[in-house]
Amino acid sequence: MTEKKAVSAEVPKETPVLKAVHLGISFGGLKAVDDFNMEIGRSELVGLIGPNGAGKTTVFNLLTGVYKPTEGAFYLNGKKMNGRKTYQVVDEGIARTFQNIRLFKKMTVLENVKVAMNKDMQYSPLASIFRTNSYWREEHDTDERAMELLDIVGLSDKKDAMAMNLPYGQQRKLEIARALGTNMKLLLLDEPAAGMNPVETDELLDIINNIRKTFGISVLLIEHDMSLVMRVCERIQVIDYGVTIAKGTPEEIAHNPRVIEAYLGKQAEKEVLNMKDASGHVIGEADSAAASGSEPAKENGADTSDL
């Protein structure tokens, strides 16, 4: 782990953690994702939203090596990632959770997190067979590290429970802890609040903010719960039918006509305007201030000039 941190320190600070350039994929004659462009800076949290079937999870599959792009390229800390296998992508520093939970259900909570750390363990097969001092030392260190991650997501008291016996919301949290175990630079969260009640969603919000503060990692979030998206994301990108239709701050996205038509709808727009952004400000108040002349209003909300 120390060696990886030393390598990442050599990357210039201005280099984006993630850069996708004209990224796309076609299945036969169907373009699932077309001309996708995105940059995410260090410790930045960006939302990716859109209707069901818009291509959001396909973007995640492109970024994690599940699908190979038919167009464009993407870079992690300036390194081109096209053509890498999924385990190579993880080793470079991209980890994800899944829309449909994918845990090792018959393993304990602690074991699920330790699995993610396997790539960084150094002891030999012989050491594990004969239970040498190096084996026990590294296993102890790994246990401590896994417990730290479980504590962050509030599951340290469940370490010996079988993953299959956890409530749904806790299984979601365990997926996040397992992803953190890979020592990633970029965390991709695919609908982490799906199926959660409001209390669990608030807990998830605290976990995401705590992760960014503790580890300084970047996060790309897919989510349909707009209250979570608006409260936690610094920027939002919206796609529809595989094409980006808007980029901007939560306030800009909430007022963008194309986003309202394609995704939010008029009723949802009213609800979003009463939500708070990552700074704790009510989103609708930004427009009121602009209309009163305290700051310049933007003509069409989100920036679509480069789409």
Is it the case that residue 272 has pLDDT exceeding 90? no
Is it the case that residue 2 has pLDDT exceeding 50? no
What's the pLDDT score for residue 217?
95
- Rounded distance, CA 282 to CA 286, Å? 7
What's the pLDDT score for residue 304?
43
**How sure is the predictor about 4, in pLDDT bands with cuts at 50, 70 and 90?**
very low
- Rounded distance, CA 130 to CA 112, Å? 24
Report DSSP letters for 258-276, one per residue.
HHIIIIIHHHHHHHHHTSB
Average pLDDT value for residue range 75-90 = 96
What's the pLDDT score for residue 280?
64
> In this prediction, what percent of the chain has a pLDDT beyond 90?
73
Average pLDDT value for residue range 255-272 = 76
What's the pLDDT score for residue 285?
63
Is the pLDDT higher at 75 or at 8? Answer: 75
Q: Sheet containing 45-49: which strands, arranged edge to edge?
A: 94-96, 186-190, 218-222, 45-49, 235-240, 243-248
- Rounded distance, CA 87 to CA 96, Å? 12
Average pLDDT value for residue range 172-186 = 96
- Rounded distance, CA 219 to CA 186, Å? 6
Which burial class, exposed, middle or buried, applies to 25 when counting CB atoms under 10 A from its CB (0-12, 13-18, 19+)? buried
- Rounded distance, CA 102 to CA 145, Å? 22
Write the DSSP symbol of residue 191: S
Q: Which amino acid is at 289?
A: A
- Using alpha carbons, select from 109, 174, 167 the residue that is nearest to residue 143: 109
Residues in the chain: 307
- Using alpha carbons, select from 110, 92, 120, 118 the residue that is nearest to residue 149: 110
- Rounded distance, CA 68 to CA 82, Å? 7
What's the pLDDT score for residue 262?
84
> Is-contact 98 190, C-beta < 8 A?
yes
What's the pLDDT score for residue 299?
40
**How sure is the predictor about 24, in pLDDT bands with cuts at 50, 70 and 90?**
very high
- Rounded distance, CA 50 to CA 22, Å? 19
Average pLDDT value for residue range 5-30 = 82
- Rounded distance, CA 14 to CA 291, Å? 35
Angle between helices 133-152 and 168-180 (to 10 degrees): 130
What's the pLDDT score for residue 267?
55
Is the pLDDT higher at 261 or at 291? Answer: 261
Is it the case that residue 145 has pLDDT exceeding 70? yes
Is the pLDDT higher at 304 or at 75? Answer: 75
Average pLDDT value for residue range 288-294 = 49
Q: What is the pLDDT of residues 43-64, one digit of tens each?
A: 999 999 999 999 999 999 999 9
Q: What is the pLDDT of residues 189-236, one digit of tens each?
A: 999 999 899 999 999 999 999 999 899 999 999 999 999 999 999 999
Average pLDDT value for residue range 274-294 = 57
> Is-contact 103 171, C-beta < 8 A?
yes
Is it the case that residue 178 has pLDDT exceeding 80? yes
Rounded to 5 degrees, what angle do the CA atoms 152, 154, 158 make?
Answer: 120
Write the DSSP symbol of residue 303: B
Is it the case that residue 303 has pLDDT exceeding 50? no
Which residue's entry shows tokens 């990442």?
A: 8
What's the pLDDT score for residue 275?
60
What's the pLDDT score for residue 216?
92
Which residue's entry shows tokens 């299959």?
A: 164
What's the pLDDT score for residue 155?
97
> Is-contact 112 163, C-beta < 8 A?
yes
